[in-house]
Structure 1
Amino acid sequence: MTILVIAEHDNAALKAATLNTVAAAHAIGKFVGGDIHVLVAGHHAQGAADAAAQVAGVAKVLLADAPQLAAGLAENVEATVLPLVRDAARHYTHIVAPATAYGKNIAPRIAAKLDVAQISDITAVDSADTFERPIYAGNAIAIVQSQDPVKVITVRTTGFDPVAAQGGSAAVEKLDAAADRGIAQFVSREVTKLDRPELTSATIIVSGGRGLGSGENYTKVLEPLADKLGAAMGASRAAVDAGYVPNDYQVGQTGKIVAPQLYVAV
């Protein structure tokens, strides 16, 4: 039995969520006893593959490098993953991806093509086929058991401490990428650049709500505090809906899932 982790990356380096996802794969591996392989699907992605090879506990890195994989379109990544899963010699029993925008885009398509149920947003592993996941906005925990031959899983990254980014020495195997499916086209991407820590991985967060009254007050009141604490800045849904800040700041059920050591709500 082997576990396949689909890495989130920017072609040059791994995203932090991948390390948490590998940690979840380790937790599954304690029950199935299999190796962990990491798939890096991208273009000019040797840097990300080399980084994945250094991750503690990874036995092999699979590098699929092609222009049609540059933007991470779900259709093309899925077409590259399916032959791997259907290869009996590889014997992948679990396909694991982070429950980020990237993972949530790809995993459902893989599950549908395999005709299996996706297990979403897991926070704990009880056995090889049994997992815990939050429901009702985190007010209850569901224990989910799957009898599907291949488990397709997304991981709530805040539920697992990241593995070490260094210490591994996995081999990198190059794969042929599937041809461009031609049913989706990448148009553009606007990336928000922040001088502060990213919300989902921040250890300290300063967050503002409706009571601040305006975007000007949000900036005036919260930025000095966040600067002092070295904190990320977040906001409630009400503050985002009111236009105080962009929606990337939103924390909560309809925003970003966070797990800081200190959360200051104003």
Structure 2
Amino acid sequence: MTILVLAEHHDGAVRDGSLHAITAAQKIGGDIHVLIAGQNAKAAADAAAKIAGVGKVLLADDAVYANMLAENVAKLLAGLAPNYSHLLATATSVGKSIMPRVAALLDVAQVSEIIAVESPDTFVRPIYAGNALATVQATDKIKVITVRATGFDAAPATGGSAAVETVASAGDAGLSSFVGSELSKSERPELTSARVIVSGGRGMQSGDNFKLLEALADKLNAAVGASRAAVDAGYVPNDYQVGQTGKIVAPELYIAVGISGAIQHLAGMKDSKVIVAINKDEDAPIFQVADYGLVADLFQAVPELTAELSK
């Protein structure tokens, strides 16, 4: 049994989420190969070769993979699939775009966002916004799987010594082309990999008031997130959103400020190690999942907390 993990990478390094997918592959068992697709991606392949537990790295270096267009990468994966029992990717926007296409090309069912492995063909995944867990068995010969990173620890990025093997490009699928991208830049940690997250909700009342959270986040070296309500209200950009339709996170500390705790938001952060809630409504649902709750006016509590951390 051999497993192929599609790894995401940036600036010559494998993204953290892919390390969690490699751990999921280890739980399944068997030899683990990692696919690095990109342009001038040798450095990323070398980094993947150092990940503990990886037996081989496949490098597909071609301009058609420069921007990880889903159609092109899916074509590559589908071509490699007959050599593998399982194809895995992290359940990020990239993985969610590519893997369903792979499953369709192979005419198999995809198993989405697994959080546990029961056996090589049986997996646990959340349903109903995380309120229930389903144990599903995949009977297809080749199993196409996306992995929820919060369900597995990250594989050590060092300690391995896998060989890097070049594989032929599958070429351009001719179905899409890269036009451009607008990337937001921040000196704060990325939401999905941050150890501490400070999130704001509708209770922040405006985008300007998020400066209160940014000051607190700077003291904690934290990322700043938001509920869908805050995003929909235009307080902050979409990439801040935590929740069922946003980013799934599980930091060591999650501070929810002015967030009522709608089920869609809880689905994205309830696996956090410690949850702190600040809300003036003592009946807010967020307090049901919080380890520590403070019933207070956030416009008074947050500056006081920031001041205490400054001492």
TM-score range, shorter chain: over 0.9
Q: Which of the numbers 191, 198, 207 marks the counterpart of 1:206? A: 198
- 3-state SS in 2 of match to 1:57: coil
Number of positions where the alignment pairs a residue of Structure 1 with one of Structure 2: 257
d(CA) in 1 for partners of 2:2, 2:232: 44
Residue of structure 1 equivalent to 2:223: 232
Residue of structure 1 equivalent to 2:157: 165
d(CA) in 2 for partners of 1:23, 1:38: 12
Q: Which of the numbers 230, 234, 242 marks the counterpart of 2:233? A: 242
Deviations 1:29-70 (A, max 9, x none): 1xxxx2100011111000110000000000000001111111
- The answer (yes or no) to whether the contact 1:197–1:232 under 8 Å persists in 2 is yes
- 3-state SS in 2 of match to 1:215: coil
d(CA) in 2 for partners of 1:113, 1:179: 16
Amino acid at match of 1:157: A
d(CA) in 1 for partners of 2:203, 2:4: 46
Map 1:84-95 → 2, pairs under 5 A:
84-86=80-82, 90=83, 92-95=84-87
TM-score normalized by structure 2? 0.81
TM-score normalized by structure 1? 0.94
d(CA) in 2 for partners of 1:191, 1:54: 29
- Structure with bigger RCO (C-alpha 8 Å, 6+ apart): 1
* RMSD of equivalent CA atoms: 1.0
Residue of structure 2 equivalent to 1:77: 73
Q: Which of the numbers 130, 138, 149 marks the counterpart of 2:141? A: 149
Residue of structure 1 equivalent to 2:18: 18
d(CA) in 1 for partners of 2:28, 2:22: 10
Larger radius of gyration: 2
Amino acid at match of 2:49: A
Q: Which of the numbers 117, 130, 148 marks the counterpart of 2:109? A: 117
Which stretches of structure 1, 4 residues or longer, exceed 4 Å deviation after superposition?
A: none
CA offset at residue 83 of structure 1? Answer: 2.2
- The answer (yes or no) to whether the contact 1:11–1:44 under 8 Å persists in 2 is no
Gaps of 5+ in 1: none
Amino acid at match of 1:263: Y
Deviations 1:129-149 (A, max 9, x none): 000001111111111111110
d(CA) in 1 for partners of 2:160, 2:117: 23
**Does 2:242 align with 1:255?**
no
- 3-state SS in 2 of match to 1:119: strand
CA offset at residue 11 of structure 1? Answer: 5.7
Q: Which of the numbers 179, 182, 186 marks the counterpart of 1:194? A: 186
Amino acid at match of 1:4: L
Residue of structure 1 equivalent to 2:278: none
Aligned identity (percent) is: 64
- The answer (yes or no) to whether the contact 1:205–1:264 under 8 Å persists in 2 is yes
Residue of structure 2 equivalent to 1:48: 44
Gaps of 5+ in 2: 258-311
- 3-state SS in 1 of match to 2:85: strand
